[in-house]
């Protein structure tokens, strides 16, 4: 488990108390003191809950009702209705499922690819590091957004069993495959620093295998920046997906996603602005919450900058 360091607080008359400055409770405590992060967590939690409860809506996100097209927000339709008379709130919530799923998927894929690569490169160094870093460089040399457009055009049409056309899985895969490099670099930097520390040397002397060292000893200490980056990555993934969908390359209708809801709302911006305001607002709230949470986590994990992030002095 993670080691615990302590600081002693001395107040006259009181017994000396050692408070932990790292370790899970300490991290949580520092996180709690960050008002923005708490608010962000609350908002994101609310959004996730709402999105999960989408099936409870009395409206069908796909069934049209041509008699109530383009209704402004009202009690029956808190977010108004769209071009086919469908309740916008229901579609926004279902769209949230898609967008959040894509976001989580992207982060998951980035982690699954990036963390092992970074860990192995940082731990073994030398030849392994060189090869893995070359691989990372190749991916980093691609103009990301341009290749994203191309990849989504390719994979979207794949008709294999798991990947029906226009599936959430494909878009998540496509974005994820181009976003793991940050994690790889991060983890590598962390491993480079951590593998020289005393506790690792001690564990090695005690006979721990490489695998045990990596997974049980070093990785948990690198978790901090990984979690921070993952939270920020969620926001990034959602923006990428909505950007792709906006251009027509991401999730296609009739499946709603925040991005393609915004894209369809474009032509109605003056006449029926609520069609753009609400999906845009959801994207905004989700990302800003994720950013605040990430910021809070960063401060919580790193009060004294024990582990330096890439790019920092």
| Distance of closest approach, residue 145 Cβ to other proteins, in angstroms | 3
List 287, 296, 297, 300, residue binding other proteins (CB under 8 A): 287
Least CB distance to other proteins at residue 120 (A): 19
**Cβ-based nearer residue to other proteins, 212 or 299:** 299
Q: Which residues of 262-277 are buried (b: 16+ CB within 10 A; e: fewer)?
A: bbbbeeeeeebebbbb
Give the N- to C-terminal CA distance of the chain in Å, as an integer.
28
Give kind and range of the element (H or E) at residue 20.
strand 17-20
45 vs 253, which CB is nearer to other proteins? 253
Nearer to other proteins, 199 or 284 (CB): 284
Question: Exposure string (b/e) for 84-120, b if CB count within 10 Å is 16 or more?
Answer: ebbbbbbbbbbbbbbbbbbbbbbbebbbebbbbbbbb
Identity of the residue, 211 or 304, whose beta carbon is nearer to other proteins in the bound complex:
304
Where in 93-132 is the site for other proteins (CB under 8 A)? none
Nearer to other proteins, 221 or 289 (CB): 289
Per CB under 8 A, 295 contacts other proteins: yes
User: How many residues belong to the site for other proteins (CB under 8 A)?
Assistant: 63
Q: Which of residues 39-78 bind other proteins (CB under 8 A)?
A: 62-64, 66, 69
Q: Three-class SS string for 70-136?
A: CCCCCCCCCCCECCCCCEHHHHHHHHHHHHHHHHHHHHHHHHHHHHHHHHHHHHHCHHHHHHHHHHH
Burial of 69: CB neighbours in 10 Å, binned 0-12, 13-18, 19+: middle
Question: Distance between CA atoms of 55 and 52, rounded to whole angstroms?
Answer: 8
Among 120, 132, 149, 190, binds other proteins (CB under 8 A): 149
Among 4, 76, 201, 266, binds other proteins (CB under 8 A): 266
The DSSP 8-state label assigned to residue 68 in this structure reads: G
User: Interface mask (CB under 8 A) for other proteins, residues 174-203, using x and -?
Assistant: ------------------------------
Q: Which residues bind other proteins (CB under 8 A)?
A: 36, 62-64, 66, 69, 83-84, 134, 137-138, 140-147, 149-151, 153-154, 156-157, 159, 165-166, 235, 239, 242-243, 246-249, 252-254, 262, 264, 266-271, 276, 280, 283-288, 291-292, 295, 305, 311-313
């Amino acid at each position: 488990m993670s080691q615990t360091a302590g600081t002693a607080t001395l107040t006259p008359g009181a017994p000396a108390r050692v408070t932990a400055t790292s370790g899970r409770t300490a991290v949580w405590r520092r996180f709690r003191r960050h008002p923005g992060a708490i608010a962000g967590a609350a908002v994101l939690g609310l959004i996730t809950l709402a999105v999960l409860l989408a099936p409870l809506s009395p409206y069908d996100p796909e069934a049209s009702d041509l008699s109530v097209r383009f209704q402004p927000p009202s009690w029956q339709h808190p977010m108004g209705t769209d071009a086919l008379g469908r309740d916008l709130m229901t579609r926004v919530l279902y769209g949230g499922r898609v967008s959040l799923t894509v976001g989580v998927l992207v982060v998951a894929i980035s982690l699954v690819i990036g963390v092992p690569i970074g860990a192995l490169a940082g731990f073994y160094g030398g030849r392994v590091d060189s090869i893995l870093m070359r691989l990372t460089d190749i991916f980093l040399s691609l103009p990301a957004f341009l290749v994203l457009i191309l990849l989504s055009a390719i994979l979207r049409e794949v008709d294999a069993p798991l990947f029906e056309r226009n599936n959430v899985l494909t878009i998540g895969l496509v974005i994820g495959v181009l976003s793991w490099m940050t994690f790889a670099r991060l983890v590598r930097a962390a491993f480079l620093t951590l593998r020289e520390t005393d506790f690792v040397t001690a564990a090695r002397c005690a006979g721990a295998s490489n695998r045990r060292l990596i997974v049980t000893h070093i990785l948990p200490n690198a978790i901090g920046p990984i979690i921070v980056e993952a939270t920020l990555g969620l926001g990034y993934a959602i923006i990428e997906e909505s950007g792709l969908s906006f251009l027509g390359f991401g999730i296609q209708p009739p499946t709603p996603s925040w991005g393609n809801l915004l894209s369809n709302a474009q032509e109605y911006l003056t006449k029926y602005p609520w069609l753009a305001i609400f999906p845009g607002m959801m994207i905004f709230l989700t990302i800003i919450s994720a950013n605040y949470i990430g910021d809070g986590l960063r401060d919580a994990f790193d009060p004294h900058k024990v582990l330096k992030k890439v790019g920092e002095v």
